[in-house]
Amino acid sequence: MFNYFIEGGSMMWLLAILSIAGLGTILERTAYFLRNEQGITKEFKSEIVDLVREGKEDEAIELCNKTNNSVSRTVKSILLAYKNENDLYESKEKLMKEKALEQIENLERRLSILGIVSYISPMAGLLGTVLGMIKSFKAIALQGAGDPNVVANGISEALITTAAGLLIAIPAIIAYNTFNRKVDKIMLEIEKTSTALINIKDSGKR
C-alpha cells in the first residue's frame, strides 16, 4: 500500500488529507446519529399528541426528556415556549421554525466536509492523472519511445491517482447522500409533529 502511495506522486498527499477528512466525518456523524437520534417512532408521536390533547403537558415534557432525538428536543422546546414565553412569538409558525432550526444545525454539522471531499477527490485524482501523463510524454521526448520503462512511471502515477480519487469519492458520496436523507427524514418528522401540536394548542384556545 505504501508503495502505491509513493508511486502516485505528490497528489497522493492531497488525496490522503481528503481521505482522512472524509473518514473522520463519516465516523463522527455515524456516532452522532447513533447516540442522539434514537427512538423516532410513530408510537412516540402518537403518545406526545395524545398527552398534549389531554392537557398533560408536563407528562409530555417528561416523555421528551426520556427520548433522545431531535423530534423530542424540538417538541420539548415548543411546549416550554408555550408554557413560559408564548407572548414572545408573533406566530406559531415562527415558533415552530425557530425551534426546528435549533436542531437542524446539529444534524447538518460537518456534512459540507463530505460534500467537499466527494467533489474534490475525483478532481485531484484527475489532476494526478494529467501530471502522470505529462511526466510520461516528457520522458518520451527526452529518451524516445523505444523502451516501455520510459513511460511506465508516468502511467503508473496516472492510474494510481485516478483510482485513489475514486476510492475516496465513492464512499464519501454514499455517506453524504445517506446522512442527508436521514436529516430530511428527521426534519419531516419534526415538522409533522410540531404542526400537530400547534394545531392542538390553537384549537384549544378557540
Query: 180 pLDDT band (50/70/90 cuts)?
Result: very high
For 116-171, write each residue's pLDDT tens digit.
999 999 999 988 888 888 877 777 777 665 566 666 667 777 788 889 999 999 99
**Global pTM exceeds 0.85:** no
Query: pLDDT > 90: what percent of the chain?
Result: 27
For 60-98, write each residue's pLDDT tens digit.
888 888 888 888 888 888 888 777 655 444 566 677 777
CA dist list (Å): 2 to 8, 13, 16, 95 = 10, 12, 12, 55
Burial (CB count within 10 angstroms: exposed 0-12, middle 13-18, buried 19+), residue 68 = middle
2 pLDDT above the threshold of 90: no
Query: 31 pLDDT band (50/70/90 cuts)?
Result: very high
Residues 6+ apart with CB under 8 A from 138: 154
Query: 202 pLDDT band (50/70/90 cuts)?
Result: low
Tell me the three cell numbers of residue 198: 400547534
57 pLDDT above the threshold of 60: yes
Query: 199 pLDDT band (50/70/90 cuts)?
Result: confident
Termini Cα distance of the chain: 70
